[in-house]
Structure 1
């Protein structure tokens, strides 16, 4: 019996290894941003962080791949593409499911250009739609109801983005947030962990933690 695993495709594997290698320089690049970074607008922050990968971990990416394979969503939404590491994991799962599409969001024009080249080189560009601009403005334009959502952009925007998508989330939709140890994500975590808001939520101990929430 033949098994399909696009993550093992040499083109995808090479792209991930290259980007994870470059992401090792993130700490030095973050140090150069300075104390005024937090006071910038989302677009200014994106431009200032144009060289920073801020990636999901390899283990986190594999978890995303497995979840998408299991859920088989027709529409995958990602908030915060950066250079596209997590997007590759999502698109690889969609490829192996034989159905679905990934809609991803990014503010930085430089990152978008680089990611599009990577997606083409990896042979997954036909499954990915990149929405350029503020996710709060671009995500309402996505066709179809999201059936799997990854929130990995600026942490203070994760809750507003979730609330924006919420009217379109059907029961059983999975919503995954990365880096749950970051203080800016606390309002989001408080929200999805409150049963009154309609989620069953669990923390998964990978790297800086992932919160997996099922829409009830």
Structure 2
């Protein structure tokens, strides 16, 4: 049973509000300097708190990063589920992914950018990431596929740890992996500004990659 705000004590509500503000300040800091430069002491100073006082709300940098990563993955998982609707569609998921990434590029890079040195996400966070992939795999299973098996199909049939045990056939595994790698490749370059000054519309490049994937 989910506890509502009205069922919480004033102290619990205050603690939740302070934790929410700490996360907001952390996201602002990451937007300027990146996740690797996250400083709890700097956040405490912005909030008019001492460093030790802030550590009563988050035990350390890794716990705060975990909360931010968990929030990001959960947001994308919810976005994917809403886009999937009653009939999973890889194209709908692709457009949902791009919209989610453009809405908050730093949130995107927090989970799909360069890993934060020394940080390792706990199992419950990686489980949410697996939920996201499961929605894509469901869509790729539902989409028709044809053509002969490839060496990658044969490899993925026995190397599916990344798919978290999803029972998708090898062809669907290959299609999901192609979607994930190629679309993230375009998005990462776009959001990092590598297309700036090149004179073309990244949205059209993304659409062309998606069309090629759908035709395959």
TM-score, length-scaled by structure 1: 0.28
Higher strand share: 1
Greater helix fraction, Structure 1 or Structure 2: 2
Provide the TM-score with structure 2 as the length reference.
0.28
